[in-house]
């Protein structure tokens, strides 16, 4: 008699059943959604805005383009893309987490961004869009929370038009040993403390710090993008590799 082997994956440093991870990640983001932007500013000292600016500049988005901002959360990238694509373009803000999506929708609507933005709750591993739908897809600080990253990258590639671009902005492996040590100390002491102080949730920020360490490094992620069918894959380190912006093109 064959014994069935339960598939497992990582949730931070913990090993959990693969089928359980999605719900566990969802709980984290339901918890942090309301204070997400404030915590981003505190945790990165505001530098996350610069990282996102570089992402927008390197995306090559033009008026009239169709853009998917995946794991778009509270809408930082969507806001800027909406301005660029204009009335003839379309930006879809997609997130698997309803709390994050609601915060993003309410914020952008309150700021007057209506008309060329749609909101879709979607799982990156099985995107509900037709093949060859988008000129640009971005996923900023979301890929590390996806259970099956290879499936997500294949799904994103499928949805890109030929010549379309995928940009993955994510925490990565620092290139400087001193920065790496300082970053570890900061991540595992300051982040949970700030999470407790500001969001009354230290455990979620402990998970976020651990999930960064479990994410593939620069070269590994580049290889995964190539395996998913993208070409001319490159990455650009920022803040000594604390963050990397990967870019690939659908042939």
- Identify the pLDDT of residue 60: 97
8-175+206-249 is classed in which CATH architecture?
A: 3-Layer(aba) Sandwich (3.40)
pLDDT band at residue 192 using 50, 70 and 90 as cut-offs: confident
Residues above pLDDT 70, as percent of the chain: 86
The answer for residues whose C-beta is within 8 angstroms of residue 223's C-beta and 6 or more apart is: none
The answer to whether residues 67 and 135 touch, using CB atoms and an 8 Å cutoff, is yes
Does residue 25 have a pLDDT over 90? Answer: no
The answer to whether residues 195 and 205 touch, using CB atoms and an 8 Å cutoff, is yes
Strand order through the sheet with 90-95: 117-121, 90-95, 66-70, 134-140, 160-171, 243-249, 231-238
- Per-domain residue ranges of the chain: 8-175+206-249
The answer to whether residues 166 and 156 touch, using CB atoms and an 8 Å cutoff, is yes
Mean pLDDT of 5-33: 66
- Identify the pLDDT of residue 203: 80
Q: 65 a known binding residue?
A: no
DSSP state of 86: -
- Identify the pLDDT of residue 3: 47
Q: 237 a known binding residue?
A: no
Mean pLDDT of 76-81: 96
Q: Can you say how many angstroms the Cα of residue 76 is from the centroid of all Cα atoms in its chain?
A: 12
In the block, residue with structure tokens 């008699």:
1
Sign of CA dihedral 52, 56, 57, 59: positive
Helix pair angle (202-214, 18-32), 10° resolution: 130
The answer for residues whose C-beta is within 8 angstroms of residue 91's C-beta and 6 or more apart is: 66, 67, 68, 69, 78, 81, 82, 85, 116, 117, 118
pTM of the model: 0.86
Q: 40 a known binding residue?
A: no
Predicted confidence (pLDDT) per residue in 105-156, tens digit? 999 999 999 899 999 999 999 999 999 999 999 999 999 989 999 999 999 9
DSSP 9-74: EEETTEEEEHHHHHHHHHHHHHHHGGGHHHHHHHHHTTTHHHHHHHHHHHHT--TT-EEEEET-TT
Q: 74 a known binding residue?
A: yes
Other C-beta atoms closer than 10 Å to the C-beta of 83 total 15
Query: What is the β-pairing status of strands 134-140 and 117-121?
Result: unpaired
């Amino acid at each position: 008699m064959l014994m069935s082997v339960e598939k497992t994956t990582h949730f931070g440093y913990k090993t959990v059943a693969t089928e359980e991870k999605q719900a566990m990640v969802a709980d984290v983001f339901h918890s942090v959604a309301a204070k997400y932007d404030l915590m981003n500013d505190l945790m990165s000292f505001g530098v996350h805005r610069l990282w996102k600016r570089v992402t927008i500049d390197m995306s090559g988005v033009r008026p009239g383009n169709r853009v998917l901002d995946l794991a778009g959360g509270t809408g930082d990238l969507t806001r800027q893309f909406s301005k660029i694509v204009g009335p003839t373009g379309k930006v879809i803000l997609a997130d698997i987490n309803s709390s994050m999506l609601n915060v993003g929708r309410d914020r952008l609507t309150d700021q007057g961004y209506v008309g060329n933005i749609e909101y879709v709750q979607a799982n990156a591993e099985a995107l509900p869009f037709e093949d060859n739908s988008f000129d640009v897809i971005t996923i900023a600080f979301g890929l590390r929370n996806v259970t099956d990253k290879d499936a997500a990258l294949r799904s994103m590639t499928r949805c890109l038009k030929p010549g379309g671009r995928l940009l993955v902005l994510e925490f990565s492996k620092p290139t400087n040993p001193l920065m790496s040590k300082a970053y570890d100390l900061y991540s595992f002491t300051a982040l949970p403390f700030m999470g407790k102080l500001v969001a009354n949730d230290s455990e979620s920020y402990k998970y976020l710090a651990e999930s960064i360490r479990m994410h593939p490094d620069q070269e590994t992620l580049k290889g995964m993008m190539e395996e998913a069918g993208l070409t001319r894959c490159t990455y650009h380190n920022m803040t000594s590799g604390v963050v990397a912006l990967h870019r690939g093109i659908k042939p």
